[in-house]
Structure 1
Amino acid sequence: MTQTITKKMIQQMSDEQRKNHYHKVRMERKKAQIDAAITRADNQKGLLLVITGNGKGKSTSAFGMVARALGHGQKVGVCQFIKSRTDTGEEAFFNAQPNCEWHVLGDGFTWDTQNREADITTSKKGWDIATKMLTDPSFDLVILDELTYLLSYDYLDKDVVLNTLSERPEMQHVVVTGRSAIAELRDLADTVSEIKDEKHAYQSGIKAQKGFDL
């Protein structure tokens, strides 16, 4: 049986006991609120998550979800747009996993290619591969890394992309990463996270590090 704590009992407590008491009261209230929210959230569906902003960690966050899904025995597809490197640690690791299909679909960053027509052609070829995943219910999770650039630069028809995302299999989860996510993509998403660039080692002249950035 829970003892009722009176005002007099609280006054007789030491400072540390009083802090512990009020902490327990706050946590009991918080738990009740969280439990009620969990009870209300009883729907299940495939989610669309957009991770955008200028900060570091967008793709890294998405690849963390790849690990989580694979840990549950789910099938994952990864489409890396823009990027052309095939020597990253994440690709080496995840591409070796039996339930992970990984595609590097870019020719390099736009300031390297400097060819809009070629970038559009490459983007459309990459989107064809992504579309196969987004229409295949066997994929539980699809990562569309750096897709935001293809929309903000008008390399792809945004209506086609948004419709494909909307009409994907009911329980399929999708994560889109990249800076400057367009408003229509944000509106369609179930969750949008924006990562702020407060400080970056590159600004201090430190190059990308293997195992940390690559």
Structure 2
Amino acid sequence: MEAGTIQIICGNGTGKSELALGRAIREVSRGRRVIVIQYLKGSMPREAEQWYKKLEPGLRLFRFEKNGEYFEDLDEQKKAEEVQNIQNGLHFAKKVLTTGECDMLILDEFLGLVDQKIVSDEMLRSLIEARDPSATLILTGRNCSEKLRKYADSIIDIEKMDLNR
């Protein structure tokens, strides 16, 4: 994987976040700094939190949402509160990309923010254009819009397998 690329991992299949995390672990093992920001995930099991802690300081995980439920399950008031928290996470992501704070930034379920219309096209473009050219950016989620595809250096589309064939 080349440094400074924009990679998208999308599709209806499972394992998108795991693939991104595998790439992160590989980079950490090479002495590179990785930041993962997760969106729209709901609460994280305590065991997973402890596992991520073991990878510090090479890999740092951030979650800005305060409610433990999935975004889609929230009422409108809680969604509005979470959108503000998500916006804080997006500002942090932009800061990380512009300051060279990491070698790789993974925005896990970022494509869901685009689907939910939490991220505008302008915000998306601003985030990508602000990136330090040496930083690798990985975006995950189900759907990859045509507008986003034009920024990508590589796209991995993970399809759901029919195991009954």
Paired AA for residue 95 in structure 1: K
Instruction: Output the TM-score relative to the length of structure 1.
Output: 0.67
Contact 2:34 2:58 in 1 (8 A): yes
Aligned partners of 2:130, 2:91: CA distance in 1, in Å? 15
Task: Provide the aligned C-alpha RMSD in A.
Answer: 1.9
Aligned residues: 157
The structure richer in strand per residue is 2
In the other structure, the counterpart of 1:205 is none
Cα pair 1:123 1:156 within 8 Å, conserved: no
Check 1:141–1:110 CA distance in 2 against 1; reply closer, same or farther (3 A cut): same
Contact 1:150-1:156 within 8 A present in 2 as well:
yes
**Which of these residues, 74, 77, 93, is aligned with residue 113 of structure 1?**
74
Partner of 1:183: 146
Instruction: Write the deviation string for residues 143-185 of structure 1: whole angstroms up to 9, x where unpaired.
Output: 0000011112211222122222123111100110001122111
Larger relative contact order (C-alpha < 8 A, sep ≥ 6)?
Answer: 2
Alpha-carbon deviation of 1:187? 1.2
Stretches of structure 1 lacking an aligned partner (at least 5 in a row): 1-43, 201-214
2:19 is the alignment partner of 1:56: no
- Measured after TM superposition, the shift of residue 45 of structure 1 is 5.0
Pairing partner for 1:102 from 55, 61, 65: 61
Q: How does 1:65-144 map to 2 (within 5 A)?
A: 65-87=23-45, 90-96=48-54, 97-106=56-65, 107=67, 108-115=69-76, 116-144=79-107
Identity %: 25
Which has more radius of gyration?
Answer: 1
Partner of 1:11: none
Q: Is the 8 A contact 2:94 2:131 kept in 1?
A: no
Name the residue aligned to 1:18: none
Which residue of the partner structure matches residue 23 of structure 1? Answer: none
Distance in 2 of aligned mates of 1:92 and 1:135: 29
**Deviation of residue 88 (structure 1)?**
6.0
- Tell me, in whole angstroms, the C-alpha distance in 1 between the residues paired with 2:3 and 2:53: 27
Q: TM-score, normalised by structure 2?
A: 0.85
